[in-house]
Structure 1
Amino acid sequence: MELRDYLKVFLARKWLVLAATLVTTTAALVASLLQPRVYEARSSLLVKERNRGSNILGSMLPALSLEPERSVRTHIELIKSPALIRRAAGSVKARPGEISSALSVEVLPQTNLLHVSISHRNPTRAAKIADAVASTYAISNRNVNASEIEEARRKVHFKLRDTEEDILALQQVISGKGKRVTPELKRNAQGKLRMSLGVYQMLATKEQELRISESTEPGEVVLIQRAVVPTAPSTPKPLRNTVLGLVLGLSLGVGGAFLLEGMDTRIRSADEAGDVFGLPVLARIPLARCEKPSDAFFVTPTSASAEAEAFRALRTSLSYVNYNGEIRTILVTSGSPREGKSTISANLAGALVQAGYKVILLDCDLRNPGLHTLLELPPGPGPASVIAGQTAFESAITRHKPSGVDVVCGSLSAPPNPSELLNSRTMDELLAKSLEKAHFVILDSPPVLAVTDPVVLAAKVHGVLLSSSVGETTREEAQRVVERLSSERVRLLGVVANKVPAEQAAAYYPYYQRERKLRPKPAAQEH
């Protein structure tokens, strides 16, 4: 499909698209306005990238955490833990369930920042709870760090005391008090004393550092920004929801339009009729709404309507097809009833007469004749009576005075064997006699898909015109018509697009649209 085809589908289903867009947009807006307002407050925590053991053992462990992502995820789970939520709830006199259902913790990508968010209908309450959760966790983390440092300091202190005792014992050995000391033992004691004094000095320094850290340690998690009382709700967002509803509705409408277009196989334009039938479009007959059947005969000597001009255009198109004058008998048929084949037959005959040709119009729909009603003529004995030898050909002809067309009207009594009559040798003789009296013979036949009569007649004439009603004929019907008439003996001249909507017909007959609007609106030509 080209862009033009997509646009045609959109315009053909524009009310569906507009309805879907309007409904979903309105629903999104109404739902947003009815939804209670919820405010979101957010506090920020900074997670320091360092190993907790570096505070205890100094340079003996690396200062940076070896798995920062894992550390941040651990902090998130600890913030969401029931124990911490209970402590935070106690500080702001809230229920733990109220906090856990409104709490969300997320890490800012590529950073060590944690956002602690609380959603609540009261903006002040949301900010207060967010601060309570963030500060409670920061304090809890600092206390854990402080207790670990205290425990490490106590262990260092005990080790320091043990080292003091070792130093005293070594000093006694070196001084020789209490027992006899050999020179070698004294030398060993002096070496150990030097080592113990070094260890003692190191432990004393570490104890002092741990005392300082114990009183100044901020913890691994620091509250860097308290929550600000929000002034605008986080949900609902009417503008965003309305835009999303608009996009969704438009998508549903367009999708529904193409779905219906795929399911609807009716021919929508004259150009599409030509493509589906695989034939040239010889004329585009505008849709007309008539009060009575005879209003569908448009080609009178004084008529200047768009419909009359369309049939004159059909006459001109046929003259190009019939450039060598070999086409004199023309069968007009359609796939299904009420597609305008009788209207086209009668008006084409009238247009040819206006061009100076003598024309005989045969109503070969032996089962359901309609030309006499369209032309306001009395029913005749019909072609069946002439073929059967019951009526002379000349006496079966009636002159339609407004147009000058000679018509063989059908009989109201259908013969028992129409197909056999039409396929007989006497039918050939009837066509030959008609050609002796006229330049052109137009045959109005039954629908192709209803009976076999038009297939029989198609093999006896010089050419076949197919009528297709825009908006009624389906693609499947068109394909079946062409299949049934596919024969070496059948010449398909083209298709006449009937009941073309006014906006499409205006592109071809714009000069006549004003005159058309001044006339009373007629009924779709049905014969």
Structure 2
Amino acid sequence: MDEQLDPRRYWLVVVRWWWLVVLITTAAAVGSFLFTQTRSPVYEASTTILVQQTGTAPFSTRQSSSDIQASLFLTSTYSRIIPTLPIMEKVAEKLQLNTSPARLRSMVSTTAIPNSQLIIVKVKGTDPVLVRDVANASAETFIEVNRERRLKEIDTLQSKLQEQGIPPQPSLIQDQLNALGSVEIVERAQTPEKPVYPNVQTNVMLAMLLGAFSAFLLAFFLEYLHDTVRTADDVTRVGMVSLGVVPFARASRGNGNQNGGLLSTLKDTSQEAYRLLRTNIDFSFKDKGKKVLLVTSAQPLEGKTTTAVNLAIAIARAGQQVVLVDADLRRPSVHNFFSLSNEQGLSNLLVDSRLPVSTVVQPTDVPGVSLIGSGPHPPNTVELLQSERMAAVLKELKDQFDVVILDSPPVLGLADVVVLSPLCDGALIIVDSDRTRPKTLQLAKESLERGKARVLGVVLNKVDMKRESYYYYYNYYNYYYKGDRGEGEDPKKGMPSLLQAPGRLLGLGRARRRSSEDRQP
């Protein structure tokens, strides 16, 4: 399916911004309700009039087709006469109202029902009794005025006949009476019990629909602005491979050390994420021999150091010997994860070529994992990292260990990674799923490739598994581990010694949820 038309992508946007949709919809409903309560109620009453051209009883079937046509014409004409000022003036007099005829006319409306002889007189106002009285009085007054006018016409005709000496003609007078037709009220207005405006239920529902629609538009607009690499599909669109997805996990608070406290064991899904990452890295190499891996990120605080530490432990748990080298000579932090000293480290080896590598290698509490800290900060970082001594150190470490993992500085803005990458067998780019934009990731990839690095792929970090497209993956592993604790590695052990570390190890929150103890290099 075309990704642009994939409904799942739109559904994920709604899921990510559900709180915004709920907030705006609720606010619209509450606002509409409060606004409605401030409006004065408006009532409506209506009177129905029947117009017949003949003088027969209402609803008579004796009308000819010409009578019906005449009645339809009169119905349309009368509907325009009823709300005129002369009629409204008589209504005001009849009801003894102080309201002006113009005001009454604004309250009255008439409708000639198409293809019928009925006229509906509607009156709207804030007083239910008044609208009833005005509706009935308008119909009654019009009927009276209309009959008086037609009777005057008959009187005038009789007077002319008498002046000409013509005796009274009963048949002629009857014809004139028939020509008057009849205008009668067939349904009188009743006192309305409920207002027609405002309709609280209708207004609130419309406000909720409008609010929800506006919220959806805003959510998609914010999603467009918040263009980050969140899923494996996003990685693929940049032209790279996704090697793994590390879930968001919040650090638990313990007794603590200088960097924010000891952490609890990783959850099962996080453990499995690093095991899958370890496996995918193995599949990236045809040669299953020893290797040097570079772990970096496009920009700071994406979780590269945390990933490097956890990856080292995951590899060690598979039975391999791993040395973790802190090659971030500007902002070293790996030693903090294991509560080890950083007095001596990589910088000492690079400055003093006679210093044995073994003197700076420190064992950790994690079986199979050793550490070389960064050592004192040197003034000429780039020169040291691209020196022959650096290549020699890596060669010696590769001979002694199965896997060498370099935790390097971020790619963008620094030359350190560019000079280190040719010395490594493969590079991993760690991506914060809530911060890193596709363009930023693309620039990082291009920088590494200019340095002749082999970019293995991307590790998506700090992913909210419950809200992204990994929802079913997350639930599957939760079910698997809860249902069968006896297979594979014991999840209760997790990576405890790895996680006896400072707060940045599992501080994998999304940007809006990140607190001071969550921040990591």
- TM-score, length of structure 2 as denominator length: 0.77
- Shift, 1:117, TM fit: 0.8
Q: Distance in 1 between matches of 2:409 and 2:138?
A: 86
Q: Distance in 2 between matches of 1:444 and 1:33?
A: 63
Is the CA contact (8 Å cut-off) linking 1:298 and 1:308 kept in structure 2? no
Is the CA contact (8 Å cut-off) linking 2:243 and 2:281 kept in structure 1? no
The residue that corresponds to 1:118 in the other structure is 123
**Residues 277 and 498 of structure 1: is their aligned pair in 2 closer, same or farther, counting only changes over 3 Å?**
farther
The match for 1:349 among 312, 333, 340 is 312
- Shift, 1:229, TM fit: 2.4
The match for 2:13 among 9, 13, 18 is 9
Structure having the higher helix fraction is 1
Is the CA contact (8 Å cut-off) linking 1:285 and 1:311 kept in structure 2? no
Q: Distance in 2 between matches of 1:435 and 1:464?
A: 16
Q: How does 1:203-242 map to 2 (within 5 A)?
A: 208-219=170-181, 221-242=183-204
The residue that corresponds to 1:198 in the other structure is none
Q: In angstroms, what is the RMSD of aligned CA positions?
A: 3.7
Is the CA contact (8 Å cut-off) linking 1:124 and 1:229 kept in structure 2? yes
Is the CA contact (8 Å cut-off) linking 1:349 and 1:361 kept in structure 2? yes
The residue that corresponds to 1:375 in the other structure is 338
The match for 1:322 among 285, 294, 300 is 285
**Residues 444 and 297 of structure 1: is their aligned pair in 2 closer, same or farther, counting only changes over 3 Å?**
farther
Q: How does 1:17-28 map to 2 (within 5 A)?
A: 17-28=21-32
- Report which stretch shifted further, 501-510 or 18-27: 501-510
- Shift, 1:129, TM fit: 0.7
**Residues 126 and 283 of structure 1: is their aligned pair in 2 closer, same or farther, counting only changes over 3 Å?**
closer
Q: Distance in 1 between matches of 2:14 and 2:307?
A: 31
The residue that corresponds to 1:500 in the other structure is 463
Is the CA contact (8 Å cut-off) linking 1:41 and 1:130 kept in structure 2? yes
- Shift, 1:227, TM fit: 1.4
The residue that corresponds to 1:41 in the other structure is 45
- Shift, 1:465, TM fit: 0.9
- Report which stretch shifted further, 379-388 or 439-448: 379-388
The residue that corresponds to 2:218 in the other structure is 256
Q: Which amino acid aligns with 1:84?
A: I
- Shift, 1:342, TM fit: 1.0
The match for 2:141 among 114, 136, 141 is 136
The match for 2:379 among 415, 423, 430 is 415
The residue that corresponds to 2:241 in the other structure is 279
Is the CA contact (8 Å cut-off) linking 2:83 and 2:105 kept in structure 1? yes
Note the alpha carbon deviations across 1:39-63, whole angstroms, 9 max, x for none.
211012345589xxxxxxxxxxx75
Q: Distance in 1 between matches of 2:383 and 2:189?
A: 96
- Report which stretch shifted further, 130-139 or 211-220: 211-220
Q: Which amino acid aligns with 1:78?
A: I
Q: How does 1:65-464 map to 2 (within 5 A)?
A: 74-94=77-97, 95-96=99-100, 97-148=102-153, 150-151=155-156, 208-219=170-181, 221-269=183-231, 272=234, 278-291=240-253, 292=256, 293=259, 306-325=269-288, 328-390=291-353, 392-395=355-358, 397-403=360-366, 404-416=368-380, 418-464=381-427
**Residues 297 and 402 of structure 1: is their aligned pair in 2 closer, same or farther, counting only changes over 3 Å?**
farther
Is the CA contact (8 Å cut-off) linking 1:45 and 1:222 kept in structure 2? yes
- Shift, 1:87, TM fit: 1.3
- Report which stretch shifted further, 385-394 or 247-256: 385-394
Note the alpha carbon deviations across 1:305-326, whole angstroms, 9 max, x for none.
5434432232122122224326
- Shift, 1:395, TM fit: 4.5
Give the gaps of 5 or more residues in structure 2: 55-65, 483-490, 509-519
Q: Which amino acid aligns with 2:113?
A: L
- Shift, 1:283, TM fit: 3.9
Q: Which has the larger radius of gyration?
A: 1
Aligned length, in residue pairs: 468
Residue 324 of structure 1 aligns to a residue whose secondary structure is: coil
Note the alpha carbon deviations across 1:444-467, whole angstroms, 9 max, x for none.
111122323223323332211111
Residue 423 of structure 2 aligns to a residue whose secondary structure is: coil
Note the alpha carbon deviations across 1:62-94, whole angstroms, 9 max, x for none.
75769967x666544422222221111111112
Note the alpha carbon deviations across 1:103-131, whole angstroms, 9 max, x for none.
22233344443211112333232211101
